[in-house]
Chain A
Amino acid sequence: MKVLNVIINLINAAVLAGTPLLLATSGEILTEKSGNLNLGVEGQMYMGAIAGLAGAWFAEQWFGTGGMIPLIIAVIFSFIMGCISGLIYSVLTVTLRANQNVTGLTLAIFGTGFGKFFGEVLGHKAGGFVAVGQETKAMFGNINFGKLTETPFIGTLFFRYNWLVYFALIIAVIMGWYLNKTRSGLSLRAVGESPGTADSAGINVTRYKYGATIIGGGLCGLAGMYMSMVNQKGIWVTDCVSGYGWLAIALVIFSTWSPLRAIYSSIIFGGLTVMYMRIPIPGLPTAIYMMFPYIATIIVLILTSIKQIKEHAQPASTGLNYYREER
């Protein structure tokens, strides 16, 4: 029984830790399906993280209440900030044809600086450090399902999460449906696989690339909000995103560009990031234990590159800009 409890608690923690990964991975999958390889997820998450926290904090100041209004504003702000970051990326790579890798890396650097800069400014403003009130914090806490939450095992396994966990799952499922079952999703995939062909078929390549990258950025912004509002409980911590954005890019490869497979891969990686706290291995130093997700990422990268399956590969045009005149 004790072992089972440990495992169930680990899964619970893994899902909680994996949710921002799932949101960001879904966003990045959408982006990459349009042929844009956005390496700036880390920066986008930072931008979303600070926008969400700042939104919640200002809403508390303006409306004088915690709870629902700050929550909504945090969601809107972080999503819009993520969209803006996606827009910056699209303008540079799609319209101005800048190198995708470098633009993404710049976005990572800029976004990280942006988050830390405004996080600290907000801290000055709040007189020391930013923290949202209890009521707002509770909105990002676990939902109380009453009896269901109390059920042994099942409760911990399924009903002891915050709303964003369920939201992220729904997003991933919707995206899987969108990409595989809708006409628009098919067009998007065509743009990512072969923009020249898609263009000939009358698909507006530019619009799809912009749309996917901006919405994808918005999801990364929400993932960032999860880091600041849920993981750090509404307090600004300078290193709040701490590499999750990069893990998300790796997860895109691990889930082979499928939002549905991203669900379990994000839970696995969530588990790897929290395992050192839950299941101590005697004789293994914590610092070495904390390398696990990174080592696992490398192993996954190598293994997926060794056995490349055609249907599960990266969209063919990812990383390359589309030049209509060179078609």
Chain B
Amino acid sequence: MTDQKINNANMPEQPDAPCPPAQDMHPSMKEPFVRMTKRGGITKRQRVAVYIICFILALLVGALMLLAIGKNPIHAYRDMVVGSFGTAIATAETVRIAIPLLIASVAVGFAFKMRFWNIGAEGQILAGAIFCSYIVIHSINNENYIGKIPLHLLMVVLAMVGGALFGFLPAYFKTKWETNETLFTLMLNYIAIQYVIYLQSLRTWQHPMSTYPKIVDFSTFTEGKVELPRMFGVHIGWIFALIIAVVAYFYLTKTKHGYEISVVGDSLNTARYAGMNTRWIQIRTLLISGALCGFAGYLQVAGANHTLTETSAGGVGFTAITVAWLAKLNPFVMIPIAVFIAMLQKGSLFIQSTMRIPASAADLLTGLILFFMLGSEFFIEYKLVFRGKQNISPIEQKEVAA
């Protein structure tokens, strides 16, 4: 996973970049039954049509799996929507799931845009949660001497430092010795999880009455100081998440930093020739990426859970990868996609209780949708030409894609 050759087919960014003119493959003696040629470009409408078809196909395959276990897929899908948006409470819960997901997706998207495969969002979220919990515990053990606003400010700063540290380590080694960042970030996830388990066993972090290794409920022990205020039934983290997504969009598309990130992602060598400090760009971006995840960790502690557990990140780091990629690394598009994936997760919890369908159906469906979306890229870049046919209409191609 070292060097950065540019593969056109895999570049999610630059959706409207002009493709080279259509050229057929080298002339061969006998025409193959089916061959592929590069498209001369595709309209936005065609592109959307391909995505929609792939999305429907993914749902169909999911439906087959539900049928295989003897459940009615139509009921299941309907219940998922009802269970996630049917009531105000359900909607609030769905949004609550979407908050860390959106922030982590934006963070992961930064790194992915540079082809830095950060799969450690999970660990970075936990690192943020751990760091900001330290100050809460310190405050609790010293008669809550910190006021509400200073406490939150300290928590935010610490959480971002924690997340940034976890982003910095792999970036430092990757840029210095090309250390494999995928596994590095992944191992940090496990280390963070183990560390939380360790904290749970500490007397000073436990509930005084508890015999079970569990960290105290911050809300009761800080007289509610730790709790974030709510707006429309959800903690105000959703406002921050939206702001982050919008700012990230402008950061990536309108600033020098954003431009540098795309050049590094397209070709490290080009960036070097252009005189960019590629090492600093990568480290800087991972610091930001980690800090954002750390902030999501803070929101989990202060907004969602009011405590710290080893599941505080709860798989968000991995799901964020799917969200980021489905959104083609565009932070704006991540907003609806994060909400959609949150809907799948909340909805699958609902059908678990109503239809006894395991909640992991959400992961299954998420994976399927991403599989189909990954496959669909091919049909956007290339078209298939069958023997004897010179041209093929876009409509027919979608049938081929199907």
Contact = CB atoms under 8 A, between A and B. Distances in A.
Question: Do A and B belong to a common assembly?
Answer: yes
Interface of A: 37, 39, 43, 88, 91-92, 95-99, 101-103, 105-114, 116-121, 124, 243, 246, 249-250, 253, 285, 287-288, 290-291, 294-295, 297-298, 301-302, 305-306, 308, 314, 318-321, 323, 325
Nearest to A323: B7
Q: Which 4 A-B pairs have the closest CB atoms?
A: A110-B367, A113-B363, A287-B198, A120-B358
A124 to B, nearest CB: 6
A39 B119 CA distance: 11
Given A121-B358, A306-B177, A110 B363 contact: yes
A112 B321 CA distance: 15
B364 A321 contact: no
B187 interface: yes
Given A121-B358, A250-B183, A291-B191, A98 B69 contact: no
Interface residues of B, number: 55
Given A98-B377, A101-B1, A291-B195, A117 B361 contact: yes
A92 B371 contact: yes
Interface in B64-109: 65, 69
B23 to A, nearest CB: 8
B45 interface: no
Nearest to A307: B177
B287 interface: no
23 contacts: A39-B182, A92-B375, A96-B377, A98-B10, A98-B374, A99-B7, A103-B371, A109-B319, A110-B371, A113-B367, A117-B361, A118-B69, A120-B360, A249-B183, A285-B198, A287-B194, A287-B195, A290-B197, A298-B187, A301-B183, A301-B187, A318-B1, A319-B2
A229 B62 CA distance: 27
A321 B25 contact: no
B232 to A, nearest CB: 31
A109 B5 contact: no
A97 B318 CA distance: 22
Given A96-B378, A98-B374, 13 more contacts: A96-B374, A97-B9, A97-B10, A97-B378, A101-B182, A103-B374, A110-B371, A113-B366, A114-B367, A117-B364, A120-B360, A243-B190, A287-B198
Of B9, B182, B198, B377, the most chain A CB neighbours within 10 A belong to B182
A118 B361 CA distance: 9
B236 interface: no
A241 B318 CA distance: 16
Interface of B: 1-2, 5, 7, 9-10, 25-26, 38, 65, 69, 117, 119, 173, 177-180, 182-184, 186-188, 190-191, 194-195, 197-198, 200-201, 318-319, 321-322, 325, 356, 358, 360-368, 370-371, 374-375, 377-378, 381
A130 B363 CA distance: 22
Given A88-B371, A101-B1, A287-B195, A109 B377 contact: no
Of B195, B363, B368, the most chain A CB neighbours within 10 A belong to B363
Contacts of B25: 325
Contacts of A290: 194, 197
B2 A116 contact: no
A204 B177 CA distance: 34
A252 to B, nearest CB: 10
Given A102-B325, A287-B195, A321 B7 contact: yes
Given A98-B10, A98-B377, A298-B187, A288 B371 contact: no
Contact of B360 (A113, A124, A287, A294): A113
Given A305-B173, A323-B7, A116 B195 contact: no
Contacts of B364: 110, 113-114, 117
Contact of B190 (A92, A97, A102, A291): A291
A283 to B, nearest CB: 13
A228 to B, nearest CB: 16
A102 B374 contact: yes
Contacts of B183: 246, 249-250, 253, 297, 301
A313 B289 CA distance: 30
Given A117-B358, A285-B201, A96 B375 contact: yes
A305 B179 contact: yes
Contacts of A39: 182
B269 to A, nearest CB: 15
A98 B375 contact: yes
B184 A298 contact: yes
A120 B219 CA distance: 34
Contact of A106 (B201, B322, B360): B322
Given A106-B322, A109-B366, A124 B201 contact: no
Of A95, A99, A120, A325, the most chain B CB neighbours within 10 A belong to A99
Contacts of B38: 325
B151 to A, nearest CB: 27
B356 A124 contact: yes
A291 B374 contact: no
Contacts of A117: 65, 358, 360-361, 363-364
B5 A320 contact: yes
A297 B187 contact: yes
Contacts of A106: 322, 325, 367, 370-371, 374
Contacts of B358: 116-117, 119-121
Contacts of B69: 118, 121
Contacts of B367: 43, 106-107, 109-111, 113-114
A253 B177 CA distance: 14
A302 B169 CA distance: 11
B371 A294 contact: no
A323 B365 CA distance: 30
Contacts of B363: 109-110, 112-113, 116-117
B367 to A, nearest CB: 3
